[in-house]
Amino acid sequence: MSNLYDVIIAGAGPVGLFLACELAMADVSVLMLEREPEPNSPSKIGPPGMRALNTASMEAFYRRGLLDKVTPPSKRPPNFQKKPGFQFAGHFAGIWLNANRLDLTRFKYRIPGPALDLSLNPASIAGIEAVLAPRAESLGVTILRGKNVTGVSQDEDAVTVKAGDQEFYAKWLVGCDGGRSTVRKAAGFEFVGTEPTFTGFAVQADLDQPEKLKIGFNPTEDGMYVMMRAGNFHLLDFDGGFFDRTQNVTEEHIQDVVGRVTGTDVKIAKLHHASSFTDRCKQAARYRNGRVLLAGDAAHIHSPLGGQGLNLGLGDAVNLGWKLAATVRASRSRYGPVDLSLLDTYEQERRPFAAWVLEWTRAQVTVLKPGPHGAALRQLVSDLIDTDDGHNLFLGRVWGLSQRHDLGDPHPLVGASAPDFEFSDGSRLGPKLEGARGLIVDFGDDVRLKKLAGGDQLGLSALLVRPDGIVAWVTEESLDIEGAKAALARWF
């Protein structure tokens, strides 16, 4: 079989590209098939393409040496710091969160560092791809654009992917091809969840009276409008999801929604761009079917409320990358069936996170529903967020500070992101993961380079960190060799 790759990735968006880089760093051959002929579509640049990166995503880029390229230092402080006044840190159903209310002592294992910044960290889809695509190609990844996947078949040994009149072959296929994933449908994945209650619109337009629309999140009797700045706004129309992506968005329809949702007589002078979305919430019943896997929007879809979509997908990529790479390498060194237990922890760990995001967005939609019931719930949630406990609960969830995989160990750090320890030689833990290799950190006095600046090791004696930055094992006593060996055997 000619042109046999280790992995084919369908979709060259941020999730697919991040995954490709992870695989290629581990000497895995990767082919990417992207249906769009050019990388810069209107939906990826300017306001429509802007996304907020939470702490989990910032850590992923930081640990691979890419943070300064994705979010330049000039646009963020070098360490987490509170700024005077209100500091926007996201929202829940349009209720604003203030970074200055974060009490970092509530998150014992979070250490201020380059990746811990709750000020809004905007990055465009096009900008992220502009960083990741050259990196992927420099690592040996082949990216073919204008190649729309039209069919998938597999047997025990390989996957065949059809794109137009061509066929490509690989040991594994990963669908990163979006919410309407061809790979998911062709490979027979069940997609389950709830149907939409609203249609949303992202709009760029010249308005005749923009001053009549207030900046910020504005719930109304018929939905909500979000005015970012004059000419760039979002609309939520609770129409039961009647007007979805299958329909052409016209200026006449947008004008009708503007009048109904905002309750004003503002007119569109010129429509530059408009796209639609809904709050349909679904996720794949499983993330692996034979030799086909799913990641990002191909595995889960939900409304964009709260800005969790890209962050969730990047989390999929960093979790899957080292596990699939290890599985590929294992298949080269032995005959017969390959142990897939490590690879299957991808679904076990990531599917619960997606389920949580779906619930999180459903809750926001419920709070925003027009009528007295939605208004009553909104007031209750607003009162909760106004408390210190409530505000920190929401900050912890929105920014990923409280994220933790269940790895079967009750210690609160096991399954969570590794603290970005600063050592006495001026180095930090995060960049030591740049090569996507696991680490054992021993804080014993005989390990000079592992001594911490200031000596604060958070009560830990040693820890095992996976390539994705997740702590797999810790000890608060002297180094437990047998415990360390057991953890290594499980994960490596």
What are the structure tokens assigned to 452, written together? 């911490």
Please give the residue range of the domain that contains residue 420.
Answer: 404-492
Point out the domain boundary residue: 348, 368, 388.
368
Tell me the C-alpha distance between 39 and 133, whole Å: 10
What are the structure tokens assigned to 344, written together? 């299957």
Q: Quote the DSSP letter at residue 216.
A: E
Tell me the C-alpha distance between 89 and 426, whole Å: 29
pLDDT greater at residue 480 or residue 223: 223
Task: Please indicate, yes or no, whether residues 252 and 344 belong to a single structural domain of this protein.
Answer: no
In degrees and rounded to multiples of 5, residue 32 shows phi and psi of -110, 135
- Residue 116 is predicted with a pLDDT of 86
Among the residue ranges 79-83, 352-356, 478-482, the one predicted with the least confidence is 79-83
Tell me the C-alpha distance between 174 and 196, whole Å: 27
What are the structure tokens assigned to 215, written together? 């900046």
User: Per-residue pLDDT averaged across 163-174, rounded?
Assistant: 95
pLDDT band (50, 70, 90) for residue 453: very low
Task: Please indicate, yes or no, whether residues 28 and 72 belong to a single structural domain of this protein.
Answer: yes
Cα–Cα–Cα angle for 454, 455, 458, rounded to 5 degrees: 115
Question: Distance between terminal CA atoms of the chain?
Answer: 31
User: Per-residue pLDDT averaged across 74-95, rounded?
Assistant: 73
- Residue 241 is predicted with a pLDDT of 86
Tell me the C-alpha distance between 317 and 189, whole Å: 19
Task: Please indicate, yes or no, whether residues 147 and 35 belong to a single structural domain of this protein.
Answer: yes
pLDDT greater at residue 244 or residue 292: 292
**388 in any annotated domain:** no
Task: Kindly provide the b/e burial profile for residues 101-122, where b requires at least 16 CB atoms within 10 angstroms of the residue's own CB.
Answer: bbeeeebebbbebbbbbbbbbe
Among the residue ranges 156-165, 234-243, 471-480, the one predicted with the least confidence is 471-480
Task: Please indicate, yes or no, whether residues 420 and 487 belong to a single structural domain of this protein.
Answer: yes
CATH of the domain at 155: 3.50.50.60
Mean pLDDT of the chain, nearest integer: 89
Work out the burial of residue 233: count CB atoms within 10 Å of its CB; fewer than 13 is exposed, 13-18 middle, 19 or more buried: buried
Task: Please indicate, yes or no, whether residues 301 and 449 belong to a single structural domain of this protein.
Answer: no
Task: Please indicate, yes or no, whether residues 294 and 364 belong to a single structural domain of this protein.
Answer: yes
- Residue 455 is predicted with a pLDDT of 55
**445 in any annotated domain:** yes
- Residue 479 is predicted with a pLDDT of 63
| Residue indicated by tokens 């409280």 | 402
Overall domain count for the chain: 3
Amino acid at 162: K
Residue 4 pairs with which residues in a beta bridge? 169
Tell me the C-alpha distance between 67 and 135, whole Å: 13
Do the beta carbons of residue 297 and residue 313 sit within 8 Å?
Answer: yes
**270 in any annotated domain:** yes
pLDDT greater at residue 179 or residue 74: 179
Amino acid at 279: D
Task: Please indicate, yes or no, whether residues 165 and 302 belong to a single structural domain of this protein.
Answer: yes
What are the structure tokens assigned to 374, written together? 């939605």
Tell me the C-alpha distance between 340 and 327, whole Å: 7
CATH of the domain at 251: 3.30.70.2450
> pLDDT tens digits for 260-302?
999 999 999 999 988 889 999 999 999 999 999 999 999 999 9
pLDDT at 3 over 80: no
pLDDT greater at residue 229 or residue 171: 171
Tell me the C-alpha distance between 116 and 32, whole Å: 32
- Residue 451 is predicted with a pLDDT of 46
Task: Please indicate, yes or no, whether residues 352 and 211 belong to a single structural domain of this protein.
Answer: no
> pLDDT tens digits for 111-151?
888 888 776 677 888 889 999 999 999 999 999 999 999 99
CA distances from 415 to 109, 262, 394, 435, 474 (A): 12, 44, 20, 20, 10
- Residue 225 is predicted with a pLDDT of 92
- The closest of 436, 357, 375, 409 to 18, measured between CA atoms, is 436
Provide DSSP, 17-84: HHHHHHHHHTT--EEEEESSSSS--GGGSTGGGEEE--HHHHHHHHHTT-HHHHS-GGGS-SS----S
Do the beta carbons of residue 328 and residue 172 sit within 8 Å?
Answer: yes
Task: Please indicate, yes or no, whether residues 26 and 70 belong to a single structural domain of this protein.
Answer: yes
pLDDT greater at residue 104 or residue 123: 104
Do the beta carbons of residue 323 and residue 345 sit within 8 Å?
Answer: yes
Tell me the C-alpha distance between 288 and 318, whole Å: 16
pLDDT band (50, 70, 90) for residue 449: very low
- The closest of 240, 170, 237 to 201, measured between CA atoms, is 237
**135 in any annotated domain:** yes
pTM, 2 dp? 0.93
- Residue 232 is predicted with a pLDDT of 87
> pLDDT tens digits for 358-385?
999 999 999 999 999 999 999 999 999 9
Task: Please indicate, yes or no, whether residues 300 and 221 belong to a single structural domain of this protein.
Answer: no
pLDDT at 46 over 90: no
Do the beta carbons of residue 411 and residue 480 sit within 8 Å?
Answer: no
**389 in any annotated domain:** no
Task: Please indicate, yes or no, whether residues 329 and 471 belong to a single structural domain of this protein.
Answer: no
Cα–Cα–Cα angle for 486, 491, 492, rounded to 5 degrees: 95
**By percentage, how much of the chain surpasses pLDDT 90?**
66
Task: Please indicate, yes or no, whether residues 141 and 221 belong to a single structural domain of this protein.
Answer: no
- The closest of 300, 319, 318 to 309, measured between CA atoms, is 300
